[in-house]
């Protein structure tokens, strides 16, 4: 059965449009789902960076503890066949919680490494579906800093198969924006 990793990153909880869209995508794909609420993931700090760049066999117990959640998040990522990422747009970019998840899963030696030819991703190729909701920022517009960023990060760790389901312009006509995204979700199985 398909293993799905679902990432919710909205601070709106059940009022989140991306959460509702992500529910629909996960239902459409149908598989074993691991759900991760990124609002519960702490931001990284200097001590975390120090631990991440310390060779694994030289880490102190405190450093291992600092990286424990990151290890868990990376294991979820690597074991998934499909990632479904809820991405609300706040101030033209990704949410703070989504950035926290990204920071925790982008780790040298774990999801990428450096070579003479440049960085190489280690996460393994998988399908990604981003549920995108914005008040008025169309995907791919000059003001969309969220989707290019997510695609860059995913590509950096070795994932390039990205589909975007977009509810654009929810501040102007929420029903129409959601209807458009719903039609894109139906097409995912086609």
Please list the alpha-helical segments (H only) found in the chain: 17-29, 46-52, 61-79, 96-105, 146-156, 170-187
35 is in an annotated binding site: no
| Inter-residue contact 121 to 111 (CB < 8 Å) | yes
Facing residues of 162 across strands? Answer: 128
Q: H or E stretch including 84? A: strand 82-88
Q: What share of the chain is helix, strand, coil (3-state, %, to 5)?
A: 45, 25, 30
115-118, long-range: CB < 8 A, 24+ apart: none
Q: Which residues are annotated as a binding site for FMN?
A: 10
Q: Which residues are annotated as a binding site?
A: 10
């Amino acid at each position: 059965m398909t293993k799905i990793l679902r990432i919710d990153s909205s601070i709106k909880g059940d009022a989140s449009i991306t959460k509702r869209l992500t529910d629909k995508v996960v239902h459409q794909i149908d598989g074993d789902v691991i759900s991760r609420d990124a609002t519960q993931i702490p931001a990284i700090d200097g001590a975390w960076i120090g631990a991440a760049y310390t060779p694994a066999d030289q880490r102190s117990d405190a450093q291992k503890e600092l990286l424990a959640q990151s290890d868990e998040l990376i294991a979820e990522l690597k074991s998934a066949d499909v990632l479904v990422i809820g991405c609300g747009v706040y101030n033209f970019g990704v949410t703070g919680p989504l950035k926290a998840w990204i920071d925790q899963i982008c780790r040298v030696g774990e999801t990428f490494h450096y070579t003479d030819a440049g960085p190489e991703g280690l996460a393994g190729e998988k399908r990604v579906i981003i549920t995108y909701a914005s008040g008025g920022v169309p995907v791919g517009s000059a003001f969309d800093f969220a989707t290019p960023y997510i695609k860059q990060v995913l590509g950096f760790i070795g994932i390039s198969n990205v589909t975007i389901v977009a509810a654009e312009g929810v501040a102007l006509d929420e029903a129409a924006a959601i209807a458009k995204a719903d039609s894109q979700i139906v097409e995912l199985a086609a």
